[in-house]
Amino acid sequence: MSPTKLATPCRTPRCRAIAGPRGLCAGHARAYERRRGTAAERGYGAAWRVLRRRILARDPICRDESDCSEPSVEVDHIQPKILGGDDDPANLRGLCQYHNRARRPERV
């Protein structure tokens, strides 16, 4: 029998509602999604999906420095967009889910 996860409060200050899997209650999660915008508004529209498929075809195995042999399932910006990186294929690489998640800071 597996242990049950205890209910935790929303991580928004002064909110006492029960949090969902991402740490926010339903109301704060909806507000976050509205502020965040759609994938296309964040620069991940149709052109990105085509480029993503190209990068995953180019890098079928994870290109992390640890010589991982897992299949690539996510595309990583080597130089993050927020730090001036772009969508040039030379700045992109395929990573497995583990290494892509380990590389980026915790986000909501």
Residue 15 domain-assigned? yes
Mean pLDDT for the stretch of residues 27-42: 89
In terms of pLDDT, which residue wins out, 1 or 8?
Answer: 8
- The number of angstroms, rounded, from the C-alpha of 30 to the middle of its chain's C-alpha atoms is 18
| pLDDT, position 79 | 92
pLDDT, tens only, 71-99: 999 999 999 888 899 999 999 999 999 99
Buried (b) or exposed (e) across 46-63, using 16+ Cβ within 10 A?
A: eeeeebbeebbeebeebb
The number of distinct structural domains making up the chain is: 2
Query: In this prediction, what percent of the chain has a pLDDT beyond 90?
Result: 66
Domain containing residue 91 = 46-103
pLDDT at 61 over 60: yes
Does 22 share its domain with 56? no
Does 50 share its domain with 32? no
Mean pLDDT for the stretch of residues 14-29: 93
pTM of the model: 0.66
Does 50 share its domain with 88? yes
In terms of pLDDT, which residue wins out, 36 or 17?
Answer: 17
